[in-house]
Amino acid sequence: MEKKLYPFKFIPVASRRPWGGSALVKELGKSFVECDEDGNEHVIGADELIGESWELADMGMEDSVLSNGWLAGNTISELMETYLERIVGEDVYNYYGRQFPLLIKFLDINDKLSVQVHPDDEIAEERYDSLGKAEIWYVMDAKPGAKMYMGFNREMTAQEFYDRCHDGTVEQVLNVIEPKKGDVIYITPGTVHAADGGLLIAEIQESSDMTFRLYDWGREFVPETARQMHLEEAIDVIDYRPFDPGLYRKGPLWGEEASYEPCRESHCHCGGHCHCDDECHCDDECHCEGECHCEGECHCDEGHHHRHSDEGQVIETLVESPQFNVSKLNLSDPLHIYTEKFESFIVYICIDGAASIQVPSTKENGEACMDNYEFSKGETILVPADMPDFYLVPRDRSTVLLEAVTRPVDDQDPYIDPDTEAYLEGEDYEGLEDGLLDDDGPAAPAGASPLGFFGSSMKS
């Protein structure tokens, strides 16, 4: 009999950074262990500068180790090799293969984070045989004076940006955000970004470590602090347009200025054939696929994207992107979650309070019971797609979770019109398989080759 999978917890791994601090140990209660050159383990002290805690990583050079249950001691890559789509879901596995598609971290930015940029999937695949790096930052805490630099405050050119990185004036053209707890930033590939001073961040990103450092606030010129820079290598990766405010979602501490729309890129997917008379709603396609699960007012007939909830409700959609969807759960009452609705694994990150995942089970004597998996602030848990359902139960009145899933999207080539008939008028198609033609003409799937030269979808 096939053994059931269960919610996975992993051992966090510390990453030292010159801009790091002690919040991961002192505020999140992390305990990091590392090995010296002789293989002896020792606990990393609270006074060490730890910039990142890698919570869930399938990166080859860093693989998270499972800490609970009968599979404890295995790495995430070993689990993926064995259980494949049972962990991530069939669609996710068919798209990403055996690499777990998300990397989860906590960041403690206590000093100036280098000015950097990440490539998109296309460039990363062509040049480095890697995924690109889209990511979100959820601000768990922000001390007075903390800053995030996101994109540019005006249109830029490659030459001006290059010169400013060399003469130390790049800060003058960066868009500055003074964040508050609960804010969300969706950092798209190509967005130049940095941060400074007193930020505790939960980061969800593609499973990639493709980071190009462009400017390091002068540290690159001091031998003791110098790190490799990649300005020339990244010059054609950068988005030189002003920062898109739709990528920044102000949290509840902003009061009336708070925003409740998901972070999304503001670009049109019409492929150059936009028929919108005025404002373009091409990003607002509804994905309810028949049955609508909108809890509030439904706008599906208006062509808008299905949102989980609105202001003040339990579930808020934070980010919608081709790489991942992230929601915030203000968990005050138990929720019954049906995994098949997601068609994906689910990652939960505890931002505040504590929760438990309770999974229906059966004892050896046939008696029904619940298996309980607890996690608290600063912890991450992975629910495999293979689990049919579970209960998400708060253990604290102020429990807040981030929920991340992946729903792969194959981009439509803008040069292909899906409404074009698959057959040429006047041509003889005698000999094709029965059923492809009916009395009214072609009956093949839209966009499919009647000769079967192409598959139904291809990864771009």
**How many CB atoms lie under 10 A from the CB of residue 444?**
19
Share of the chain above pLDDT 70, in %: 78
Residue 6 CA to residue 214 CA, distance in Å, equals 42
In which band, very low, low, confident or very high, does the pLDDT at 34 lie, cut at 50, 70 and 90? confident
Residue 284 in contact with residue 305, Cβ under 8 Å? yes
Residue 6 in contact with residue 12, Cβ under 8 Å? no
Q: Average pLDDT of 226-231?
A: 93
The structure tokens listed for 326 are 């992230």
In which band, very low, low, confident or very high, does the pLDDT at 438 lie, cut at 50, 70 and 90? very low
From the list 248, 203, 227, the residue with the least C-alpha distance to 107 is: 203
- Name the DSSP letter for residue 194: E
Residue 160 CA to residue 173 CA, distance in Å, equals 10
Element (H, E) at 124: helix 121-128
Element (H, E) at 104: strand 102-109
pLDDT of 294 above 60:
no
Helices (H), 132-284: 158-167, 231-234
Helices (H), 230-368: 231-234
Tokens 């990091």 sit on residue: 32
pLDDT of 46 above 60:
yes
- Per-position b or e across 368-389, b if 16+ CB within 10 A of its CB: eeeeebbbbbbbbbbbbbbbee
Q: Average pLDDT of 107-114?
A: 96
- pLDDT tens per residue across span 126-170: 999 999 999 999 999 999 999 999 999 999 999 999 999 999 999
- pLDDT tens per residue across span 242-284: 999 999 999 999 999 999 899 988 754 444 334 444 444 444 4
pLDDT of 451 above 50:
no
Which candidate in 164, 213, 264, 307 is catalytic? 213
pLDDT of 460 above 80:
no
- pLDDT tens per residue across span 319-337: 999 999 999 999 999 999 9
213 catalytic per annotation: yes
pLDDT at 41: 84
CA 440 to chain centre: 45
pTM, whole model, 2 decimals?
A: 0.81
pLDDT at 69: 95
Residue 59 in contact with residue 209, Cβ under 8 Å? yes
The structure tokens listed for 448 are 């499919």
- pLDDT tens per residue across span 67-104: 999 999 999 999 999 999 999 999 999 999 999 999 99
Rg of the chain, C-alpha, whole Å = 24
- In this structure, the dihedral spanned by the alpha carbons of residues 11, 207, 187 and 357, taken in order and rounded to 10 degrees, is -50
List the single range of 87-91, 150-154, 344-348, 447-451 with lowest mean pLDDT: 447-451
More confident residue, 397 or 240: 240
List the single range of 299-308, 313-322, 327-336, 398-407 with lowest mean pLDDT: 299-308
Residue 79 CA to residue 87 CA, distance in Å, equals 8
**How many CB atoms lie under 10 A from the CB of residue 366?**
6
